[in-house]
Amino acid sequence: MALAKNKFYITTPIYYPSDRLHIGHAYSTVAADSLARFYRLKGYDVWFLTGSDEHGQKIERTARANEKTPLEYVDAIVATFQQLWEKLDISYNDFIRTTQERHKQVVQRIFQRLYDNGDIYKASYQGWYCTPCETFWTESRLVDGKCPDCGRPVELLQEESYFFRMSKYADRLLQYIEEHPDFIQPVSRRNEMTSFIKSGLEDLCVSRTTFNWGIPVPFDEKHVIYVWVDALTNYVSALGYGSADDSLYQKFWPADVHLVGKDIVRFHAVIWPIILMAAGLPLPRQIVGHGWVLLDSGKMSKSKGNVVDPLQLVEKYGSDAIRYYLLREIPFGADGLYSEEALVSRINQDLANDLGNLISRTMGMLDKYFAGEVLAPGALEGPDEELIALAKDTPLQVDALMERRELTAAVSALWKLVSRANKYVDETAPWALAKDPARRERLGTVLYNLAETLRFITILCGPFMPGLPAKVWDLLGIADRPDLHTWPSLTWGLLPSGIRVKRGPAIFPRIDATAALGVENR
Ligand code: ME8
């Protein structure tokens, strides 16, 4: 019997189609995609979900301001999401829209179940609502009368509403968090959540009557279901939970990682687990809260006019470069600053100088000295052992760091191997060996070691820069050897001798910073 493969289910937040996405949203999705691709590389059966969160008062108002129906409005914006993900090489398996019938049914079913179990009750609500954040606040949590999350004005709500007995589950959730130290990552976010829960959970208002753009409460159609309850349910509705074919749910739930920005960890680490507990479903294994991509001028916002459009950046610099930059420059888990200057400098330094040169020097020397042929390696000498040891160890390091969700550190570990290989070129000076016919075998060994190191680097770069491998395999002459592109093939020495490499155009051309950034940016 074939062994069942390990499974890995990862999700991104489903973004609001109230506006086009900016570089911060792209950051979340790129990070999730890199994890998804990494686990695929390791042979896991991966399910990667993204989508759009289309209901709620914010969308309804934005659509009206644009003189469109909500659905017309979101249809156009969701198309731009999908276009962006295609350009950024996002390998999602499914895209869920909360306006889809498959989603609505599951939300209603779960809501009904919570009601039937006595965890949802009707009462009159009086309190404050932040529409941009779609969040309820009690008076005591407001800061200077404004939303404590985004600082914008809140609106007084007085409605008859349904409430969810969150308070009843607070102790169970705290205990769960304590017993599962990896549940909320990084640790700083876990601590924030524990103190948030300890400060007292109030029952959550989970329905609204003052607007229509949402999923009706199944037993009281005057009410629409609170948009966060609707949105969070996407993670199981997309798997067909409770439907005639729930095979994806059976296979992939519970999720292995819900990757989200730190601003919405609270919804994922408090409200969502309690909904699941109340519905009798297993909890996700992990919520990873990453930091924010900030600009010199602060957080990106339309009103400040400082929104960075990822689509334009991809057109200008390419998907691999943008992905690399985001993962490398913003320390994963913490906040980091975005600037186009830093992006160009990373491209020129890390990609053009370090990796690009390693590739072109290796191919160039093989071409020049051996007409492109990779010779079988001979005895090891000098720095060979050190290079090989690092090449063998790097997959282990990258693996351990990815398991700990330390994406930036994983990319840095990989770049240590790139640097070590460049240093190896300087140490072994193949151009000097080439002058001495007696050292031909040594030259062959040095170039074999470089080509094999490059194979390791390329395999490990794939999850972060998915466009790169095909280009390198073509240059290395092993495009038709998929067995040499895999995780299990990260065994030193599998690169066969006798293959023919070729020179090609620079994979990462240097960017002329003055031209790229323009005068106003300098
Ligand atoms: O919150 N830096 O959607 P949203 C890093 N629909 N990440 C950023 C960012 C920045 N400057 N700005 C946004 C919602 N993000 C809900 C989610 S999930 C069931 C429902 C990312 O369109 C980050 O992941 O406001 C953040 O959590 C998400 O976009 C918010 O996207």
Can you give 412-474 as a three-state secondary structure string?
Answer: HHHHHHHHHHHHHHHHHCHHHHCCCHHHHHHHHHHHHHHHHHHHHHHHHHCCCCCCHHHHHHH
Residue nearest to atom 26 of ligand 1 (CA): 261
In 3D space, the residue among 230, 209, 113 whose CA is nearest the CA of residue 161 turns out to be 209
Asked if residue 16 is part of any domain, the answer here is no
Q: What is the pLDDT, as a whole number, of residue 222?
A: 96
The model's pLDDT over 6-55, given as tens digits with 9 standing for 90+, comes to 999 999 999 999 999 999 999 999 999 999 999 999 999 999 999 999 99
Q: Which two tokens stand for residue 333?
A: 């888990």
Q: What is the pLDDT, as a whole number, of residue 304?
A: 72
First to last CA, the chain: 63
Asked if residue 441 is part of any domain, the answer here is yes
Asked if residue 211 is part of any domain, the answer here is no
The model's pLDDT over 158-184, given as tens digits with 9 standing for 90+, comes to 989 999 999 999 999 999 999 999 999
CA of 68 relative to ligand 1 center, distance in Å: 24
Please state, for a pLDDT cut of 90, what percent of the chain lies above it.
93
- pLDDT at residue 519 is higher than 60: no
Q: Which amino acid is at 471?
A: K
For 415-429, give one letter per residue: b (16+ CB within 10 A) or e: bebbebbbebbeebe
Asked if residue 379 is part of any domain, the answer here is yes
Q: Is 185 exposed, middle or buried (0-12, 13-18, 19+ CB in 10 A)?
A: buried
Q: What is the pLDDT, as a whole number, of residue 403?
A: 98
Query: Which ligand 1 atom is the nearest neighbour of the CA of 263?
Result: 27
Give, to the nearest 10 degrees, the angle between helix 170-179 and helix 187-198.
Answer: 160
Asked if residue 129 is part of any domain, the answer here is no
Rounded to whole angstroms, how far apart are CA atoms 330 and 124? Answer: 45
Give the dihedral sign, CA 22/28/32/37.
positive
244 CB contacts (<8 Å, ≥6 apart)?
none
Range of the domain at 408: 340-484
- CB-CB neighbours of 62 under 10 Å: 19
Pairing of strands 184-185, 220-225: unpaired
Spell out the alpha helix ranges (H) of 156-210. 170-179, 187-198
In 3D space, the residue among 473, 426, 472, 419 whose CA is nearest the CA of residue 446 turns out to be 426
Residue 93 C-alpha from the chain's centroid: 14
CA of 81 relative to ligand 1 center, distance in Å: 13
Measure Cα distances from 490 to 393, 483, 487, 496 in Å: 10, 10, 6, 13
Please state, for a pLDDT cut of 70, what percent of the chain lies above it.
98
Mean model confidence pLDDT for the chain: 95
Instruction: Name residues contacting ligand 1 (CB within 6 A).
Output: 13-16, 24-25, 27-28, 53, 231-232, 234, 260-261, 263-264, 292-293, 299-300
pTM score, whole prediction: 0.96
Q: Which carries the bigger pLDDT value, residue 519 or residue 17? A: 17
Asked if residue 382 is part of any domain, the answer here is yes
Q: Which of 10, 12, 23, 28 to mutate to test the pocket of ligand 1 (most atoms within 8 A of CB)?
A: 28
Rounded to whole angstroms, how far apart are CA atoms 147 and 207? Answer: 20
CA torsion angle for 416, 421, 423, 424 (degrees, to 10)?
A: 140
- CB contact at 8 A, 475 and 502: yes
Asked if residue 64 is part of any domain, the answer here is no
Rounded to whole angstroms, how far apart are CA atoms 513 and 469? Answer: 26
Rounded to whole angstroms, how far apart are CA atoms 275 and 429? Answer: 63
The model's pLDDT over 89-132, given as tens digits with 9 standing for 90+, comes to 999 999 999 999 999 999 999 999 999 999 999 999 899 999 99
CATH of the domain at 456: 1.10.730.10
465 Rama sector, left if φ>0, alpha if ψ -120 to 50, beta otherwise:
beta
- pLDDT at residue 301 is higher than 80: no
Rounded to whole angstroms, how far apart are CA atoms 361 and 318? Answer: 23
- CB contact at 8 A, 329 and 344: no
Rounded to whole angstroms, how far apart are CA atoms 179 and 201? Answer: 20
Q: Which residues pair with 119 in a beta bridge?
A: none
Residue labelled with tokens 């007696």? 438
Structural domains in the chain (count): 1
Q: Using pLDDT thresholds of 50, 70 and 90, give the confidence band for residue 312.
A: very high
The model's pLDDT over 56-82, given as tens digits with 9 standing for 90+, comes to 999 999 999 999 999 999 999 999 999
Q: Which of 263, 276, 299, 339 to mutate to test the pocket of ligand 1 (most atoms within 8 A of CB)?
A: 263
How many residues would you count in the chain?
A: 522
Residue nearest to atom 21 of ligand 1 (CA): 25
Q: Is 307 helix (H, G, I), strand (E, B) or coil?
A: coil
CA torsion angle for 88, 89, 91, 96 (degrees, to 10)?
A: 40
Q: What is the pLDDT, as a whole number, of residue 12?
A: 98
Spell out the alpha helix ranges (H) of 205-334. 227-232, 234-237, 247-252, 265-266, 272-279, 310-317, 319-329
Rounded to whole angstroms, how far apart are CA atoms 342 and 330? Answer: 11
Asked if residue 106 is part of any domain, the answer here is no
CA of 27 relative to ligand 1 center, distance in Å: 10
Rounded to whole angstroms, how far apart are CA atoms 166 and 8? Answer: 29
Residue labelled with tokens 């090989």? 388
Residue nearest to atom 30 of ligand 1 (CA): 15
The model's pLDDT over 368-403, given as tens digits with 9 standing for 90+, comes to 999 999 999 999 999 999 999 999 999 999 999 999
Q: Which amino acid is at 282?
A: P
Rounded to whole angstroms, how far apart are CA atoms 367 and 502? Answer: 7
Q: What is the pLDDT, as a whole number, of residue 2?
A: 56
Rounded to whole angstroms, how far apart are CA atoms 292 and 44? Answer: 29
Q: Which two tokens stand for residue 263?
A: 């601003």
Q: What is the pLDDT, as a whole number, of residue 176?
A: 98
